[in-house]
Structure 1
């Protein structure tokens, strides 16, 4: 907020000859005026910080959504395992993002590849960032890790979760977010001094930075592990291994929907920003529009999936509809702030078919992902990046990314193909980076027999072999009736006991 000016030299001549001490009176008035001006500045910081903190809380609530969605999508015998991994994604991610991740992502000034300041939040708060910004970005980082955990559910050793989660949140994800979100990033739309193709990449809330990174990381984990036992029969035909609770899936979906209102609108990080002072239209309007485009994309994707799957399978399937809804959200995340509401409907419609197509391809390739995470977040996230390059409007691009009035915008909106070129590069480099980092990590874990559990453990369920018992009590009187649950000791893939 610009400060207002007031000085004794300006006011003293206005008092006239009858005032005993015009200069003293002017000093007093200006002093009070400065106090009021400072209060307005303080209030603007407080309002923006409160808005960002509230958005961070919303994004963090998505962890509960991921936990419920994952729990409902796996079989009952692995419920405790997947819930614990979701808790530790947040906990391990918090430590590693604090020590390394935030600095790699936003440690300005830096080069275009990686940040180099604010390790362990040293020198915080600063003129660049306050603690609320760190909390918000941490919530994003652990969301990426939560996506990956779904892809490798029901067959992964617990130590592998800890290793990949720390590596993803502490290094892999932060480097990508530096490229596209830091003002120093080589492809960032905020790097007005060196814009890729004159536009930079407009990935507002992370269809690529968050969803593609998490989805592709999960893709490599699931590919290297292989499908769950029984997912494909001896002829190669897909066998449905349905999750145990549609109730938890729906609960998780609504929690994620709720959290997405912090994920997308919250990515403005500030709300008290007037585009023209004294007008009803300002950044608060853009925040509201972003919430609307997010909603419309998800709703359209849900309805499209509902009828699409009904035509293809003959069933009204609530789990498919929930995944379709989330696919629409993942797709609109990149362009939510720079497209019109009608375009969001197109985004959601196409996202639903992208997800359906990716799932069909996964079955053909005998790829097993219990949460459809790679297909949903990777496939729909990539579509969202392309969608933004096609439908971003000139007006909204200039409002959200000021400082360069001739910035390219959507191809279909008359803005040329430069933005599309930048976004194709984004897709390519994210795939390349995650492949070069997470692929070798999962392969090394596999070679050291730290990735997949043994066949015996998988058949029995990890809750019983790794976590001391089932998540659900099926019979309170089991001991009265002489039924006892025998704990099965965990084994490695070669049949030997492990500690």
Structure 2
């Protein structure tokens, strides 16, 4: 959630990209670099999330008292809840966006999956698998709703950090306060036997109240630190490149070359070229006048 609030302030202060919205204020889809690489990166994140959630346990071979289970049970449960929440959010986002826009988009699956992961991370070790499905389903709805809100507010966040990590992260904190099971909380965290647990699991509202305060604290702290930082960079002209560089592309203006060759650079000099030329299609001949 910290990254989501930071991304929100950055997007608000920097403003939308050139051409992101038309003159009527409608959003214009800007094509990304490669959907294939987005999918590959999503799979890498998916794999890494098992090191992030189950891998956060410092010890595994620790037996619990008065039961045959041990810390290894919590590690396995964490992996299961992480998988279920992410996959549920991915499928819900896929079908939800299909209903809203009328076509399938693999990028919706990727963003939905990460939204489910962001939401379940808060309580992955203390909730049941069936609750993780609820977490992923609601996370997808939160993500879609936040994207719709960002579109209306003309908020241009190319990574959807505010919507995904901010919105889904906030839902994940609330979700934990609703569905954390007492047994899992005491086993995983130990210590005080009077630890608060989920409201819907009979634990009252103590944990929910604490988590709402946590959300407000995160929003306040990140806003107080990152907001002035982004504003200062904006005033110094260091937050955003010039309009000319943005239109030409940073591959050329900042890195000294094209990422792809879209024309034959040696075509006018008669030399050999390793590039290729994209020529416009010839115009069709005008139809003959019929007699």
Q: Kindly state the Cα deviation for residue 361 of structure 1 after the two structures are TM-superposed.
A: 0.2
Report the equivalent of 2:43: 254
Report the equivalent of 1:129: none
User: Which of 204, 223, 227 is the aligned partner of 2:12?
Assistant: 223
Report the equivalent of 1:398: 186
Report the equivalent of 2:52: 263
Does the alignment pair 1:365 with 2:144?
no
Report the equivalent of 2:287: none
Mapped to 2, the partners of 1:484 and 1:461 lie a distance apart of 22
- Per the normalisation by structure 2, the TM-score is 0.90
User: Which of 313, 335, 338 is the aligned partner of 2:123?
Assistant: 335
Q: Kindly state the Cα deviation for residue 474 of structure 1 after the two structures are TM-superposed.
A: 4.8
Mapped to 1, the partners of 2:133 and 2:267 lie a distance apart of 58
Does the alignment pair 1:443 with 2:261?
no
Structure 2: 5+ residue stretches without partners:
276-291
Mapped to 2, the partners of 1:478 and 1:285 lie a distance apart of 62
Report the equivalent of 1:301: 89
Which 4+ residue blocks in structure 1 deviate beyond 4 angstroms?
480-485
SS of 2:154's partner is: coil
Mapped to 2, the partners of 1:388 and 1:315 lie a distance apart of 34
1:385-408 CA distance string (max 9 Å, x none): 000000000000000111111211
Report the equivalent of 1:349: 137
Match runs of 1:136-155 below 5 Å: none
Structure 1: 5+ residue stretches without partners:
1-211, 486-499
Report the equivalent of 2:113: 325
1:361-399 CA distance string (max 9 Å, x none): 000000001111110011000000000000000000000
1:435-489 CA distance string (max 9 Å, x none): 00000000000111111111100000111101111233456x643564899xxxx
Mapped to 2, the partners of 1:470 and 1:393 lie a distance apart of 54
Does the alignment pair 1:312 with 2:121?
no
Report the equivalent of 1:479: 266
Match runs of 1:65-104 below 5 Å: none
Mapped to 2, the partners of 1:270 and 1:242 lie a distance apart of 45
Mapped to 2, the partners of 1:365 and 1:376 lie a distance apart of 16
Match runs of 1:36-47 below 5 Å: none
User: Which of 246, 258, 261 is the aligned partner of 1:470?
Assistant: 258
Mapped to 2, the partners of 1:339 and 1:470 lie a distance apart of 49
Bigger mean CA deviation after superposition, 444-453 or 341-350: 444-453
- Per the normalisation by structure 1, the TM-score is 0.53
Q: How many residue pairs align between the two structures?
A: 272
Match runs of 1:121-200 below 5 Å: none
1:184-208 CA distance string (max 9 Å, x none): xxxxxxxxxxxxxxxxxxxxxxxxx
1:211-238 CA distance string (max 9 Å, x none): x111111111111010000000111111
Higher helix share: 1
SS of 1:228's partner is: coil
Mapped to 2, the partners of 1:253 and 1:304 lie a distance apart of 17
Structure number with greater Rg is 1
Mapped to 1, the partners of 2:180 and 2:29 lie a distance apart of 39
